[in-house]
Amino acid sequence: MVANRWLDGEGFASIPATHARQACSAPRRRLHWGRSEEGANSTMPDELRRRRQNDEHLPAAHEDPYTAYHDFDLPAYVGSTSFQKLPLLTDAAALRERRPDVAIIGAPFDDAVSHRPGARFGPRAIRTATYHSGSLNSLQLGIEPFEWLDCVDAGDAPVTPADLERGHEVIRRKVLEVASTGAIPIILGGDHSITFPAASAVAEAIGSRRLGVVHFDAHADAANSTWGVLRSHGTPMRRLIESGVVEGRNFVQVGLRGYWPPAETLAWMGEQQMRWHLMTEIESRGAEAVVADAIAEALDGPEAIYLSVDIDVLDPGLAPGTGTPEPGGLLPRELLRAIRQVVSVVDLAAMDVVEVSPPYDHGEVTSTTAHRCVMEAISALAAQRRERGEAANPTRLVRDRSGA
Ligand code: MN
Ligand code: MN
């Protein structure tokens, strides 16, 4: 085998001495079979424990550079396009057997939009809107989420275009399939109409536990129809309340603004005892106080929370890639903080991030923030697990045998 001077350390002679010393004296990590680096569990030869932070990793001198890195540790732009290069596990039986803590689901559906289309491309854009790979470290929460939670990407619901009923049905079945394993589904939209089938499936999966909803959006999405269409992205919240999935009083909306819905829709929402917090209230009281109220209202009765994030709750200047942009919205830092605030205290049943329309995005601004919304939720779930004193359940990677 041809020696590679970068792999055996000689190449570091040309970089500053302190860095070179650090790099050359770093422990040479080997691939470990089993679920922990200590080799506590060597009964799963198919499972490959990933290396730790990739910037601290040097392959051993004798390792073949072609196979030295697991796909998970390669740069974000190389290899798998699953969310954060997590194991892609689309098969229902495999999911049931593995029982991951968190499973990403794509809902590439935008047949129900009232204005700009494009959210069908949202899942792919959100999945890959990252420059990180390997074990991520949340500076916000001081935790490496994939060290604590077994996370997978369950793939997309098998949507086909131009059939609202079928699209919603396959999304419902996909979310039910995942949620029934006990995993927390995080659904990437897609237009907001997908929250109707997705939350319906989650309610079915959690059985007798009651569901509250915390819904970030510029829009109430509680119309009866748009141009006569009941399964519109302007109507999912009304469908969820009408069908009994969520009680109106535990349906809490944050960030509403602009010029919609009309007074009669707000009157219906009031009759259902829905609660909503306008952007003007956030302007006067601050996001944190308003979100704290929203959590308490959503949990006034229910045990579990469905968190729905319409990316248009953000100001369109900071999230232009969306279908119905409404000026005057939240800052990304307010939304990311709000997601940590919600997920760190509730029992999260599921989450969706919707209305990312990549064709209207610039420089992946919107899809990147949507990706971070998901990461903030996963990190907060991990922190919750740590705080409860529960054992870590690190993300397990499977070696790609075809390449070996
Ligand atoms: Mn919406
Ligand atoms: Mn909206």
**Residue 51, pLDDT score:** 54
pLDDT-derived band at 55 (thresholds 50, 70, 90) equals low
Q: How far is the CA of 383 from the centre of ligand 2 (A)?
A: 29
pLDDT of 70 reads 87
- For range 279-291, the mean pLDDT: 98
Q: What pLDDT does residue 34 have?
A: 33
| pLDDT for res 144 | 96
CA–centroid distance, 137 to ligand 1, in Å, is 30
Task: Answer yes or no: is 47 within a domain.
Answer: no
Centroid of ligand 1 to alpha carbon of 320 (angstroms): 15
Ligand 2 centre distance from Cα of residue 324 (Å): 6
> Is 247 contained in some domain?
yes
Q: Is residue 173 one of the residues assigned to a domain?
A: yes
- Statement: residue 59 has pLDDT above 90: no
Task: Indicate whether 14 belongs to any domain.
Answer: no
- Is 302 part of any domain? yes
Q: Residue 134's domain is classified under what CATH number?
A: 3.40.800.10
pLDDT classification of 57: cutoffs 50, 70, 90: low
Residue 191 domain-assigned?
A: yes
Q: Please indicate, yes or no, if residue 78 is contained in any of the structural domains.
A: no
Give residue 404 CA to ligand 1 midpoint distance, Å.
Answer: 45
Domain span at 278: 83-387
SS (H, E, C) the chain: CCCCCCCCCHHHHHCCHHHHHHHHHCCCCCCEECCCCCCCCCCCCCEEECCCCHHHCCCCCCCCCCCCCCHHHCCCCCCCCCHHHCCECCCHHHHHHHCCCEEEEEECCCCCCCCCCCHHHHHHHHHHCCCCCCCCCECCCCECHHHHCCEEEEEECCCCCCCHHHHHHHHHHHHHHHHCCCCEEEEEECCHHHHHHHHHHHHHHCCCCCEEEEEECCCCCCCCCECCECCCCCCHHHHHHHCCCCCHHHEEEEEECCCCCCHHHHHHHHHCCCEEEEHHHHHHHCHHHHHHHHHHHHCCCCCEEEEEEEHHHECCCCCCCECCCCCCCECHHHHHHHHHHHHCCCCEEEEEEECECHHHCCCCHHHHHHHHHHHHHHHHHHHHHHHCCCCCCCCCEECCHHHC
Residue of 286 and 38 predicted with greater confidence: 286
- Top-confidence residue, 111 or 18: 111
> Tens digit of pLDDT for each residue in 153-185?
999 999 999 999 999 999 999 999 999 999 999
Instruction: Let me know if residue 118 belongs to a domain.
Output: yes
List CB-based neighbours of ion ligand 2 within 5 Å.
Answer: 217-219, 310, 312
Per the prediction, the chain carries an average pLDDT of: 88
CA of 312 to the centre of ligand 2 (A): 5
Please give the tally of structural domains in the chain: 1
Question: What pLDDT is recorded for position 30?
Answer: 37
Confidence tier at 88 by pLDDT (50, 70, 90): very high
**pTM greater than 0.85 (yes/no):** yes
